[in-house]
């Protein structure tokens, strides 16, 4: 049994958006995801002298054991990590501070568990190879969402855009794109589990569905070239085509469709939902910051409350 620990430690991770390929990626095709380092989550651990291990986050404060069902991913990963590391548990307080909106397709659940496992590794002074971190986060993701591709797990701890396909090694994409994305929160929560299950059901019931997934795969491959060759207009068209398939898969909503139309009319080169859909965020590809602000204002006139800008060239400056 390991008894060594610090008195406090922290771990962090960041949010993500899926540029193209969501849902299809669950069934083995490719997807592109972008990390959003400016939208982050931190987990702090403090040793306590007595009492039970406690959890503090924006909607629960109390013993970890009594945390509500929607925090079961945290509970279970916490116990599994300690068990596998053969740690004689000391009572601690776990404090989660998250800037990632919940259930908006921005990777909140994967990022929280990533930050938790990183904090535990520092607290108990354990080595944490990336493959081990990802294994723990995937356990949390299955508890939170059911069937998942594993994409959120990879991108919430990556600093570069990722091309992901299950059963293949994820690849960093070295984007040369000028332009930026506006990420706009519809204000409605999505439900990843429900959305993924409904696509699975459609695959069983509707023969055309499989061909939608392979066509999304081809769009994703085109988008990788567009990112590398700075073809911003092509990328916008590919995003629009991807949105048509997401509509056919039944994961868009009239409200998301409306926001997407508003963004396109205000100057977006392409716009689509991002993540699981049935609520959550849309993304709009903008040729420059000025048009991005104009699109933001147009969406605000429709009641948009929260949005973020993501410049593709920020990844170029972070390349190693
Ligand atoms: C959720 O962010 C993205 C989905 O493709 C599910 C997954 O990849 O696990 C809908």
Q: Check pocket membership of 22 for ligand 1, CB cut-off 6 A.
A: yes
- Rounded to an integer, the average pLDDT of 272-294 is 97
pLDDT of residue 320: 41
Where are the strands (E) in the chain, listed by range? 8-20, 31-47, 54-57, 60-63, 92-98, 162-164, 171-172, 180-185, 270-274, 281-286, 306-311
pLDDT of residue 317: 60
Nearest to 221 by CA among 34, 28, 30, 33: 30
Q: Which residues pair with residue 43 across a beta bridge?
A: 11, 96
pLDDT of residue 1: 61
Cα(65)–Cα(74) distance, integer angstroms: 10
Question: Is the CB of residue 184 less than 8 Å from the CB of residue 50?
Answer: no
Q: Is residue 315 very low, low, confident or very high in pLDDT (cuts 50, 70, 90)?
A: confident
pLDDT at 233 over 80: yes
pLDDT of residue 232: 97
User: What is the CA(318)–ligand 1 centre distance, in A?
Assistant: 26
Q: Check pocket membership of 105 for ligand 1, CB cut-off 6 A.
A: yes
pLDDT of residue 103: 85
Q: Check pocket membership of 44 for ligand 1, CB cut-off 6 A.
A: no
Nearest to 55 by CA among 116, 109, 96, 8: 96
Q: Which residues contact 313 (CB under 8 A, 6 or more apart)?
A: 177, 178
Q: Check pocket membership of 275 for ligand 1, CB cut-off 6 A.
A: yes
Question: Is the CB of residue 315 less than 8 Å from the CB of residue 160?
Answer: yes
Q: How far is CA 250 from the centre of its chain?
A: 20
Given ligand 1 and candidates 35, 137, 149, which is best to mutate, with the most ligand atoms within 8 Å of its CB? 149
Q: Collapsing DSSP states into helix, strand and coil, what is residue 198? A: helix
- Rounded to an integer, the average pLDDT of 60-84 is 97
Which residue's alpha carbon is nearest to atom 8 within ligand 1?
149
Q: How many residues does the structure list for the chain?
A: 320
- Rounded to an integer, the average pLDDT of 51-69 is 96
Q: Which residues pair with residue 165 across a beta bridge?
A: none
Q: What is the mean pLDDT of the chain?
A: 95
Question: In 3-state terms, the chain is what percent helix, strand and coil (to 5)?
Answer: 45, 25, 30
Q: Is residue 314 very low, low, confident or very high in pLDDT (cuts 50, 70, 90)?
A: confident
Tens-place pLDDT, residues 96-108: 999 999 888 899 9
Tens-place pLDDT, residues 18-44: 999 999 999 999 999 999 999 999 999
pLDDT at 195 over 70: yes
Atom of ligand 1 nearest to the CA of 195: 10
Phi and psi torsions of 284, nearest 5°: -125, 125
Cα(34)–Cα(161) distance, integer angstroms: 4
Q: Is residue 2 very low, low, confident or very high in pLDDT (cuts 50, 70, 90)?
A: low
pLDDT at 303 over 90: no
pLDDT of residue 258: 98
- Rounded to an integer, the average pLDDT of 116-124 is 98
Q: Check pocket membership of 151 for ligand 1, CB cut-off 6 A.
A: yes
pLDDT of residue 217: 98
Cα(71)–Cα(61) distance, integer angstroms: 11
pLDDT of residue 292: 97
- Rounded to an integer, the average pLDDT of 122-130 is 96
pLDDT of residue 102: 87
């Amino acid at each position: 049994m390991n008894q060594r620990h610090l008195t406090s430690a922290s771990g962090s991770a960041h949010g993500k958006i899926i540029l193209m390929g969501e849902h299809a990626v669950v069934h083995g095709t490719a997807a592109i995801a972008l990390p959003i380092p400016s939208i982050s989550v931190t987990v702090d651990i403090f040793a306590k002298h007595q009492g039970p291990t406690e959890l503090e986050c924006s909607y629960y404060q109390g013993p970890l054991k009594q945390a509500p069902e929607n925090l079961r991913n945290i509970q279970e990963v916490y116990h599994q990590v300690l068990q596998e590391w053969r740690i004689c548990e000391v009572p601690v307080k776990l404090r989660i501070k998250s800037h990632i909106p919940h259930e908006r397709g921005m990777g909140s659940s994967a990022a929280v568990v990533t930050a938790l496992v990183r904090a535990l590794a520092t607290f108990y002074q354990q080595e944490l190879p990336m493959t081990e971190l990802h294994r723990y986060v995937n356990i949390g993701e299955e508890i939170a969402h059911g069937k998942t591709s594993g994409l959120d797990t990879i991108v919430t701890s990556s600093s570069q855009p990722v091309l992901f396909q299950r059963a293949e090694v994820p690849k960093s994409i070295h984007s040369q794109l000028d332009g930026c994305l506006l990420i706009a929160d519809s204000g409605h929560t999505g439900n990843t589990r429900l959305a993924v299950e409904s696509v699975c059901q459609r695959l069983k019931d509707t023969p055309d569905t499989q061909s939608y997934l392979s066509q999304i795969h081809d769009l994703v491959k085109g988008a990788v070239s567009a990112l590398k060759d700075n073809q911003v207009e092509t990328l916008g068209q590919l995003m629009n085509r991807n949105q048509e398939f997401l509509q056919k898969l039944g994961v868009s909503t009239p409200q998301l469709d409306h926001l997407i139309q508003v963004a396109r009319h205000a100057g977006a080169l392409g716009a689509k939902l991002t993540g699981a859909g049935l609520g959550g965020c849309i993304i709009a590809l903008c040729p420059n910051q000025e048009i991005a602000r104009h699109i933001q204002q147009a969406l605000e006139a429709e009641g948009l409350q929260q949005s973020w800008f993501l410049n593709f060239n920020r990844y170029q400056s972070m390349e190693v």
